[in-house]
Structure 1
Amino acid sequence: MSAGRRINLKQARMLLDKDFVISEIDKRIYGSFIEHLGRAVYGGIYEPGHSEADEQGFRRDVMELVKELQVPIVRYPGGNFVSGYNWEDGVGPKEDRPKRLELAWKMIETNEVGTNEFADWAKKVNTEVMMAVNLGTRGIDAARNLVEYCNHPGGTYWSDLRKSHGYQEPHKIKTWCLGNEMDGPWQIGHMNAEDYGKKALEAAKVMKWVDDSIELVSCGSSSTGMKTFPEWEATSLDITYEAVDYVSLHQYYGNPNNDTESYLAKSLDMDHFIKTVISTCDYIKAKKRSKKTLMLSFDEWNVWYHSHSADKQLKPWQVAPPQLEDVYNFEDALLVGCMLITMLKHSDRVKMACMAQLVNVIAPIMTSNGGGAWKQTIFYPYLHTSVYGRGKALQPVISSDKYDSKEFTDVPYLESVSVYDEESEAVTIFAVNRSLTDELHLDCDVRSFAGYQLVEHIVLENDDLKAVNTEQCEQVKPHSNGNALLQDGKIEATLAKASWNVIRLAKK
């Protein structure tokens, strides 16, 4: 590359060293979410009579896409849905299951799919279940009974009931959420932080008495925009701290004003959110003089704004209506990439995360009823990080040109993190060029990885920031024609304007 051409490029330098370890990455950071909402379940993962349906009614084409993503854990059954859900409605003979008015999303819930069916589906796609319990209309008793039903071997009422339903072996569900967004006035059973803390603590006690091997997630704030944030965390965790293992974070971003420079910088807000929750947890730890460090579960995150106007037109009390079906564009994929990078930079504390959601509802995978399944634009950064982002997250030392937007100042054009897999002797660099107009010249020092060679440079790019993928046409998909070059311990690459990049190295 000539020096003359470099003058016209944005510039970034990065130093990677195998000793600059942030943390071993918990694979559950690449989790997702299925809620009984819209077409996530019915018409999404489950559609009896479809040409791709298996013997239980689950769509094989969807299962193949989920397996391609290597999703390690899926949160279920909600979401706002869980705060009005009677789990007993979804077990036993299907012909005996009641249809219910589902108040959170104003639809009819048929209960054709419940706890056992979802556990079956999870096994088929090689994932674990993160089960949420209802602390809205229900509480301590229903929570302990569900743990007994799912996890106890047998010889008791609820475990033997499971056996009578055809499941001799327990599901052994490890991770459990103590309610959902209980800080939100929209939530069925909404309560203040102190009342939630007391209820969650009592539920946690009996759930762990039934099965002391489980992990519990306490509800954090519904977003950074809540007026009670972060006091909600401080107050509730002051009660639940020693009884739980994680606190949840939820955050969605959008670009309704078409300010893309600010939009691509939203991951800086996510970074601040994570740091604030960590600080709050550590304040409670210090206050209690506890030896335990609380971890974070970012169990709802994504882009969500495209479907808002369409959802207002939906008539209530339908079965599986097309709710929250955001059609994602290319710039959404760039922000999703930045958000994934941000969580990896905090992998020492963010141990679990769930892209919300997995199929049809604000999702990387879309289907048509009776038709095909396809990959949305956001599928690809999720795929690349899940597949290549296993190992140790490395703290990059970055110097990058910056810009100011309407909402943010000093935004680096380069957003990046690296992952080192000692077992396979592989290094992967994930990088986003936020510049909408210019290429970015990246100079990366990798002398710590002597004897490594370049495997490939994957690029997701498109001249149209609003380009989308549909069942008929995939406009946004990656290629492996990136121009990264490794020589004398340094990588040089020109990152295309507004692009997602995956640069892979391996030991010779």
Structure 2
Amino acid sequence: MEARVTAHAHYAVSEIDPRLYGSFLEHLGRAVYTGIYEPDHPEADEAGMRKDVIDLVRALDTPICRYPGGNFVSAYNWEDGIGPKEDRPTRLDLAWRTSESNQVGIHEFADWAKKANTEMMLAINLGSRGLDEARAFVEYVNHPGGTYWSDLRQKNGQAEPWNCRLWCLGNEMDGPWQVGHKTATEYGRLANETGKAIRGFDKSLELVVCGSSHSDMPTYPQWESTVLNETYDEVDYISLHMYFENYQKNPREYLALSHKLDRYIGTVSGIIDYVKAKKRSKRDVKISFDEWNVWYHERKSDAKRMAEWDWPHAPVLLEDIYNFEDVLQVGCILNTFIRRSDRVRIACIAQLVNVIAPIMTEPGGASWRQTIYHPFQLASLNGRGTALRLDVRSPTYDADIAAGVSWLDIAGVHDADAGTVTFFAVNRSGGEPIEVSLALERFGTPKSVAHTLIQHDDLEARNTRDNPDNVAPRKGEGAKIDGDELTLSLPPYSYSMVRVQL
């Protein structure tokens, strides 16, 4: 089949916030313990952090990492994770029915984040706790010294403040499964007062308020309207979450789900505009899509296991082993974020290690890249700059989630400093290649083009400890320059990055 795409240097969506390629670590399963932290591992550093994992995280160049949850944060006492490790209490985590040793807390995570070349995005417990604990946490993390909490931080070994700039006001507070679940009005009032207190400490901090946990919630989208009506003048972002499932094993339907994501972003953007107009505000609230990923491979079976076990510490839990089909889905998700980067300024893949994650580890042994590591890395490293508003003419198909789904999913980014235009393209069709004619207008003369391809004949192909490169990027041969036009040949079921040097 054939498709026609036009990219014009003057037709832009937005400058992309690098935090669009953020990540997430929760005290859940083996994400922390035997994920990033394993003191007895041969690759452990002096702090007990796995250096092999740090190297894999650094290679992703993920600018922020959200911590410590997630559902975990809604019953978490941050004070349990400070001070001498031998004095830290073990607690029961109600969210995942496990025990938490608190051997990793804010000090350990902050040190790890520095080593991994990422900034902290810290979540505050507004489930079982409230305003007082929130302001104490912010003071402990960010105040230079001379107060109770900042002096305690210094006593615990951190002389200088960490100056965390990004704070989440709770997590998924619309969810009945959440410890301390609240109505939209209850939560909105608490979040607003907490935000005011934090702003009293430092007006420059960025605050994220909870939106809907997903777009199928019965309270969506009224939740966003009510919460923003309560908090609009105190927050900078509203948080959205979405996970992608393929229980039907139907590639056409599965790969159309990004249309649902796009509608979700569009609807919440409209609510933001409505509340802004209603309040006659000059402030702009953006979207923090701070949980997203494919999640279905182990979800149902692990829910049953979790209900029956007896509070284990760091058990194997939600360790989805991703396949090649998931590469295509992650590519479509990232392309949607790029095309919506005027609204979505922050996004966090959930999660980073072991738990529905691009990185896997073996206790005492190897670490490796899952299949989805690769499209995330390609977008993170090459998707910085200005998102382009592309004109796409492509054959389409009808799916349950939407009519007129394009077989070609494509996003473009112009990096003026590097002199490049980069396209990320997914061929949703398994039946035939897509021959793309791509016009480059007002960019200057293309000098060269490089094509990186991820493709496998088996949609179920996975990466494992013993075969870690089964699904991996390779050099593609399907891109050529002809004057100011680019021609691409995208194989069936494939993810491509095409980078043009101007």
| 1:49 maps onto 2:40 in alignment | yes
| 1:395 maps onto 2:386 in alignment | no
How far apart are the structure 1 equivalents of 2:487 and 2:419? Answer: 21
Aligned partners of 1:16 and 1:394 also within 8 Å: yes
Q: 1:498 aligns to what?
A: 493
Aligned partners of 2:358 and 2:373 also within 8 Å: yes
How far apart are the structure 1 equivalents of 2:117 and 2:259? Answer: 33
| 1:251 maps onto 2:245 in alignment | no
SS at match of 1:319: coil
Q: 2:111 aligns to what?
A: 120
1:326-370 CA-to-partner distances (Å, cap 9, x unmatched) read: 110111110100000001101111100000000001000011111
State the AA in 1 paired with 2:31: A
Q: 2:59 aligns to what?
A: 68
| 1:454 maps onto 2:445 in alignment | no
| 1:334 maps onto 2:328 in alignment | yes
1:458-491 CA-to-partner distances (Å, cap 9, x unmatched) read: 0100110111110111311111123200111111
Instruction: Provide runs of 4+ in structure 1 moved above 6 Å.
Output: none
SS at match of 1:452: coil
How far apart are the structure 2 equivalents of 1:301 and 1:482? Answer: 32
Q: 1:375 aligns to what?
A: 369
Aligned partners of 1:152 and 1:211 also within 8 Å: no
State the AA in 1 paired with 2:359: I
Q: Could you tell me how far 1:403 is from its partner in structure 2?
A: 1.1
SS at match of 1:243: coil
Aligned partners of 1:69 and 1:386 also within 8 Å: yes
Q: Could you tell me how far 1:111 is from its partner in structure 2?
A: 0.2
Aligned ranges 1:344-423 → 2 under 5 Å: 344-423=338-417
Q: Could you tell me how far 1:207 is from its partner in structure 2?
A: 1.2
Pick from 249, 260, 264 the counterpart of residue 273 of structure 1: 264
Q: 2:11 aligns to what?
A: 20
Aligned ranges 1:79-158 → 2 under 5 Å: 79-158=70-149
SS at match of 2:44: coil
Pick from 206, 218, 222 the counterpart of residue 215 of structure 1: 206
Q: Could you tell me how far 1:393 is from its partner in structure 2?
A: 0.6
Aligned partners of 2:319 and 2:355 also within 8 Å: yes
Pick from 155, 177, 182 the counterpart of residue 191 of structure 1: 182
Q: 1:235 aligns to what?
A: 226
How far apart are the structure 1 equivalents of 2:305 and 2:95? Answer: 16
Aligned partners of 1:365 and 1:374 also within 8 Å: yes
How far apart are the structure 2 equivalents of 1:36 and 1:210? Answer: 28
How far apart are the structure 2 equivalents of 1:73 and 1:472? Answer: 31
How far apart are the structure 2 equivalents of 1:395 and 1:372? Answer: 42
Q: Could you tell me how far 1:295 is from its partner in structure 2?
A: 0.6
Pick from 39, 49, 52 the counterpart of residue 58 of structure 1: 49
SS at match of 1:344: helix
| 1:483 maps onto 2:478 in alignment | yes
State the AA in 2 paired with 1:356: A
1:18-37 CA-to-partner distances (Å, cap 9, x unmatched) read: 11111110000000100000
How far apart are the structure 2 equivalents of 1:204 and 1:484? Answer: 50
Aligned partners of 1:147 and 1:211 also within 8 Å: no
Aligned ranges 1:171-182 → 2 under 5 Å: 171-182=162-173
Q: Could you tell me how far 1:437 is from its partner in structure 2?
A: 1.2
How far apart are the structure 2 equivalents of 1:143 and 1:482? Answer: 54
How far apart are the structure 1 equivalents of 2:204 and 2:155? Answer: 24
How far apart are the structure 2 equivalents of 1:243 and 1:317? Answer: 38
- Residue correspondences, number: 498
How far apart are the structure 2 equivalents of 1:360 and 1:475? Answer: 18
SS at match of 2:109: helix
1:218-265 CA-to-partner distances (Å, cap 9, x unmatched) read: 000000010100100000110100000000000001100111101001
SS at match of 1:446: strand
Aligned partners of 2:9 and 2:441 also within 8 Å: no
Q: Could you tell me how far 1:148 is from its partner in structure 2?
A: 0.2
Aligned partners of 2:446 and 2:483 also within 8 Å: no
Q: 1:5 aligns to what?
A: none
State the AA in 1 paired with 2:283: K
SS at match of 2:447: strand
Pick from 305, 326, 334 the counterpart of residue 313 of structure 1: 305
How far apart are the structure 2 equivalents of 1:313 and 1:86? Answer: 26
Aligned partners of 1:296 and 1:349 also within 8 Å: yes
Aligned partners of 2:445 and 2:483 also within 8 Å: no
Q: Could you tell me how far 1:185 is from its partner in structure 2?
A: 0.2
How far apart are the structure 1 equivalents of 2:87 and 2:386? Answer: 49
SS at match of 2:72: helix
State the AA in 2 paired with 1:361: V
How far apart are the structure 2 equivalents of 1:71 and 1:129? Answer: 11
Q: Could you tell me how far 1:180 is from its partner in structure 2?
A: 0.2
More off after superposition, 214-223 vs 482-491: 482-491
Q: Could you tell me how far 1:448 is from its partner in structure 2?
A: 2.3
SS at match of 1:387: helix
Q: Could you tell me how far 1:101 is from its partner in structure 2?
A: 0.6
Q: Could you tell me how far 1:500 is from its partner in structure 2?
A: 0.5
Normalising by structure 2, we get a TM-score of 0.98
Pick from 416, 436, 442 the counterpart of residue 442 of structure 1: 436
What are structure 1's unaligned runs of at least 5 residues? 1-9
Pick from 282, 302, 305 the counterpart of residue 273 of structure 2: 282
How far apart are the structure 2 equivalents of 1:234 and 1:322? Answer: 38
How far apart are the structure 1 equivalents of 2:439 and 2:198? Answer: 50
SS at match of 2:232: helix
Aligned partners of 1:440 and 1:495 also within 8 Å: yes
SS at match of 1:380: helix
How far apart are the structure 1 equivalents of 2:300 and 2:132? Answer: 39
Superposed CA RMSD in Å reads: 0.9
Aligned partners of 2:11 and 2:388 also within 8 Å: yes
State the AA in 2 paired with 1:269: K
How far apart are the structure 1 equivalents of 2:75 and 2:100? Answer: 11
SS at match of 2:233: helix
1:22-79 CA-to-partner distances (Å, cap 9, x unmatched) read: 1110000000100000000001001111011000000001000100000100000000
SS at match of 2:8: coil
